[in-house]
């Protein structure tokens, strides 16, 4: 379960990076569309949603952002929370709970941005907090014994060149 816990941390961190990249891709395409005389209004959005042609190719960045942030990241955070109860790592449940709470807040902010666009600023900052929390989780087992009962390299006692590490019985 420790491996699953760590892996889910890396997956969530990667999905947050995908979030930022897909949004930048979509906004970049939208900016070029507008510079070339295109107009983004309610009619354009409704036509695109009704199955019309994409107004600019990079509009798929917004779709990736929506699917990833609305489904994939929350599901991964929920899975991480569940795994944290079996991972038997110090603070695993607390860290997973914090990350899940940040993801929940992120979704609530996303649904409220239309009413208060300033929340977009907080949405971006909270995304950085989610990324940081995911990285803490991903790196969590670096200083903790692994499942096989061994220790990480950081926890190994120093040895003389050419000597094998001392076992606990030899200490």
Mean pLDDT per 10-residue interval, the chain, length 171 residues: 93 97 96 93 84 85 94 97 92 96 97 94 97 94 53 45 48 47
Between CA 75 and CA 79 the distance in angstroms is 6
- Parse the chain into domains and list their residue ranges: 2-25+58-141
Between CA 69 and CA 102 the distance in angstroms is 12
As a dihedral over the C-alpha atoms of residue 112, residue 84, residue 129, residue 71, rounded to 10 degrees, the angle is: -40
Between CA 147 and CA 88 the distance in angstroms is 10
pLDDT of residue 160: 45
pLDDT of residue 10: 97
SS3 115: coil
pLDDT of residue 102: 98
* Structure tokens that stand for 16 in this block: 């947050």
Between CA 161 and CA 33 the distance in angstroms is 63
Q: pTM to 2 decimals? A: 0.78
CB within 8 A of 92, min separation 6: which ones? Answer: 5, 84, 137, 140
pLDDT of residue 140: 79
Contact 13, 131 (CB under 8 A): yes
């Amino acid at each position: 379960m420790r491996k699953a816990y760590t892996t889910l941390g890396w997956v969530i961190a990667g999905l947050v990076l995908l979030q930022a990249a897909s949004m930048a891709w979509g906004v970049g395409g939208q900016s070029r569309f507008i510079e070339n005389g295109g107009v983004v209004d309610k009619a354009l959005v409704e036509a695109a949603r009704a199955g019309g042609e994409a107004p600019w190719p990079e509009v798929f960045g917004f779709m990736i952002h929506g699917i990833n942030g609305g489904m994939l990241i929350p599901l991964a955070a929920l899975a991480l929370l569940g795994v944290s109860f079996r991972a038997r790592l110090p603070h695993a449940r607390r860290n997973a709970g914090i990350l899940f709470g940040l993801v929940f807040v992120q979704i609530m902010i996303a649904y409220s941005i239309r009413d208060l666009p300033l929340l977009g600023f907080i949405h971006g900052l909270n995304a950085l907090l989610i990324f940081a929390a995911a990285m803490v989780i991903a790196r969590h087992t670096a200083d903790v014994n692994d499942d096989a009962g061994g220790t990480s390299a950081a926890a190994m006692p120093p040895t003389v060149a050419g000597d094998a590490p001392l076992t606990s019985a030899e200490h």
